[in-house]
């Protein structure tokens, strides 16, 4: 899979451990709107998806995570690789640890009907909900996002940048 970009804060001098948490994320369009997770309490957008378990491949994780976070069922044969983003920074949980996350983005289609979410506690606390957003509105909202937790700002900045790349590629195709 092609690397879209890297985020390396180089803020981890002296760290002796590395925690790797790869993730799979869905890029889903419905007409001219994009399916995103909206965090109602923190006011940001993110791509549906999350961590890949050790016993899963990327596509299995994508199916599971999209179902859990937004209740949508991904059509497996529709999955197409888009690209990955590698993120490295000091962990927000252990100051002696580098957090390394490769985020794998996939275009995919979903079944029409959404089911129930199955959220973790932190996702419930954030108020995660499925929305079909205007991509420019999502980019603007994420660009204005501020948090007491810089770790979260880096994550939301990553998804803002991926949204911009997708928008720019769609506009480029539309003008050809």
Domain residue ranges of the chain, discontinuous segments joined by + = 3-175
Cβ neighbours, 10 Å, residue 23: 21
Distances (CA, A) of 170 to 5, 19, 26, 165, 176: 18, 35, 16, 9, 10
pLDDT computed for residue 175 by the predictor: 60
List average pLDDT for each run of 10 residues in the chain, which is 176 residues long.
Answer: 97 95 97 96 96 96 96 98 97 94 97 90 92 98 92 94 95 68
CATH of 3-175, one of 3.40.50.300, 3.90.79.10, 3.20.20.70, 3.40.50.970: 3.90.79.10
pLDDT computed for residue 101 by the predictor: 96
The DSSP secondary-structure symbol of 76 reads G
């Amino acid at each position: 899979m092609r690397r879209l970009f890297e985020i390396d804060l180089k803020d981890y001098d002296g760290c002796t451990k590395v925690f790797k948490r790869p993730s799979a994320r869905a890029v889903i369009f419905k007409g001219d709107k994009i399916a995103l997770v909206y965090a109602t309490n923190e006011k940001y957008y993110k791509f549906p998806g999350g961590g890949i378990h050790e016993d899963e491949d990327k596509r299995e994780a994508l199916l599971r995570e999209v179902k859990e976070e937004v209740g949508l069922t991904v059509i497996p044969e529709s999955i197409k690789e888009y690209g990955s983003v590698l993120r490295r920074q000091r962990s927000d949980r252990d100051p002696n640890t580098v957090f390394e996350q490769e985020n794998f983005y996939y275009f995919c289609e979903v079944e029409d009907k959404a089911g129930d979410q199955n959220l973790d506690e932190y996702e419930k606390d954030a108020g995660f909900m499925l929305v079909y957003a205007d991509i420019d509105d999502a980019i603007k909202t994420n660009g204005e996002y501020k948090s007491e937790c810089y770790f979260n700002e880096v994550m939301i900045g990553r998804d803002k940048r991926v949204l911009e790349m997708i928008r720019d590629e769609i506009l480029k195709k539309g003008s050809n």
